[in-house]
Amino acid sequence: MDIGDILALCKRRGFIWPSYEIYGGVAGMYDYGPNGTAMKNDIIGSWRRLYLIGEGFVEIDSNTIGPEAVFKASGHLDEFSDAIVTCQGCEQSFRADHLVDGMHPNPDSLSLDELQAVLIENGVVCPDCNGKLSDVGEFNLMFKTVIGPGSGRVGYLRPETAQGIFVNYPNLLWFVRGRLPFGTIQVGKGYRNEISPRQGVIRLREFNMMEAELFIDPKDKTWPRFDDIADQKLSLVPQDGIERTVTVKEAVEEGIIANQALAYFVWLTRRFLVGVGVDPSRLRFRQHLSTEMAHYACDCWDAEVELAIGWTEIVGIADRGCWDLSSHADHSKTDMSFFRKFDEPVEMEVDRIRVNFKSLGPRFKGQAKSIATALEAGDPSDVIDGIITVTVDGVDHKVNSDCFEVIRVRDKVTGERFIPHIIEPSYGLDRIIYTCLEHAYCKDGEGYIALKLAPSVAPIKVGVFPLMGKDGLDDMAQDIDRSLRDLGIRTSYDDSGSIGRRYARMDEVGTPWCVTVDYDSLQDGTVTIRYRDTKEQTRIPSSDVPSRVSTMLREGLLTWADPLSINK
């Protein structure tokens, strides 16, 4: 079985279709067909239930286009942008800023034109074959666009949904009435102009994400529900690369996972993934090496699943520290700090700078006021040899001691300000959907295909068939179909072809149960219910069908007799 088998089934049965196929398709873009969309919605629903209802998070829905400043602050503009030159001889590509290393004090800061100039000045040629290099071109992984008519404002399609939550932090904090910790989720599209998208839906240019952002006090990363799950087991691959199974509690106590909150969401992620049908024996959590961790992250764990293409990341759970909020606070000049009250106010003696306006005024004239403000906010320990340097509008001013004095004052401090930390579980929805499909895919020696999907995510929950489409069997089957639909259960009524063909059709789209009305049904009111995974059938009164199906669906049971729940 390879990725092609799955994609062929996905296409044939309406799960996933290449986008714009009639125009030849576009690499890295796929559409969800009716069955894929149903599954996607179920997976999102199951995720929302865990975060919104289970953990009390709130959900927002922010824009997918953002102005340049947002991505300057988020780091994506720098991190996702490279200046590229290509050798005209051997066709290899190189990072222009890497080639001028040592020829300029700060290659990172150069524009494309400046990089071009440095390359020419230094006569740089291809490091491999000494060939002539092309002009410097820009490659940005973000899709660029223009906001408004004319040249307008530069905008980008978001490369992740998270920034929409970070920039709304002040609104969110107000909404939750100023208490930490609190969590926010968002489900939506992200866009990355991948150089070579491959492997079906694993690397897409337009993709679906489900992201949660937990805002938390850096001094208290405990989690209230931690004790409830402390004894649950996790399969972890820490930085040393040695896989081990430990309890959630041990993972934190032994310092394998940095803190309770992070460990809790690793566990919650496991529960979610197994619940939607990821095979637990092909799921592990791997810690990022310090070299692969984003520059801001304190600790990061990936949920990885084993697919035909190898172990693949489908969820990342990162402790991002205060990086995001600090950066947005700096760039937007908005206060994003949180005030933590001390249990008891602290009284202490501190040194302060007091300005002497009699000297300061005449010396700095019109700038005196802004310099005074900077002085008073300054740190007395920065005074060196009676001189302190303050920066106003980017200009340094040396201020002599005759313009200020350092005084000791008694101060009552009721609390302190800090930037909350963020713990981010980020789920690649497309990869999760694909994993559910691949892990459910079964093909026997005769080529018979069944998708053993978890009932909770199956696009069709029940197939309803009359053995023959006549003699009143059809009417009775229609009634059963209606009674299930009235409960909000997705069904498929089918009276075409042979009964075996109809079962096969349902097996291929992962329908867990089929109900068949036969001639006995007309006599005694019973029908057969057939279980996908065992192919067993039992007769039950037709009036029991809706309640039995609802119960199995709610409990995650595959068959009525089997107490094994795939959610446990």
Catalog residues that contact RNA under the rule CB under 7 A. 3-4, 8, 11-12, 18, 23-28, 79-80, 82, 86, 91-93, 95, 139, 141, 195-200, 292, 294, 309, 448-449, 467-469, 471, 496-501, 503-505, 507-508, 516-519, 528, 530, 535-537
Contact 231, 248 (CB under 8 A): yes
386 contacts: CB under 8 Å, gap ≥ 6:
400, 401
Which H, E and C letters describe 244-304, residue by residue? EEEEHHHHHHCCCCCCHHHHHHHHHHHHHHHHCCCCHHHEEEEECCCCCCCCCCCEEEEEE
Contact 28, 194 (CB under 8 A): yes
Which CB atom, from 13 or from 221, has the smaller least distance to RNA? 13
Which ranges constitute the DSSP H helices of 351-509? Answer: 357-364, 368-377, 429-440, 473-486, 499-508
Contact 285, 236 (CB under 8 A): yes
Element (H, E) at 324: helix 323-332
Specify the DSSP class assigned to residue 403. Answer: G
* Alpha carbons 491 and 545: distance in angstroms, whole number: 12
Identify the three-state secondary structure at position 197.
coil
* Alpha carbons 195 and 204: distance in angstroms, whole number: 10
Contact 317, 386 (CB under 8 A): no
69 contacts: CB under 8 Å, gap ≥ 6:
331, 332
Taking the alpha carbons at both ends of the chain, their separation in whole angstroms is: 28
**Sign for the pseudo-dihedral over CA of 323, 327, 328, 334:** positive
* Alpha carbons 23 and 26: distance in angstroms, whole number: 8
In angstroms, the Cα distances linking 23 to 188, 194, 195, 318 are 26, 20, 21, 40
Element (H, E) at 315: strand 310-321
Tell which phi-psi region holds residue 402, choosing left (phi > 0), alpha (psi between -120 and 50) or beta. Answer: alpha
Residue that has been written with the tokens 């795939």 in this structure: 566
Q: Which two tokens stand for residue 391?
A: 């920066």
* Alpha carbons 522 and 505: distance in angstroms, whole number: 25
Find, among 213, 216, 252, the residue nearest to 59 by Cα. 213
520 contacts: CB under 8 Å, gap ≥ 6:
526, 539
Which CB atom, from 300 or from 375, has the smaller least distance to RNA? 300
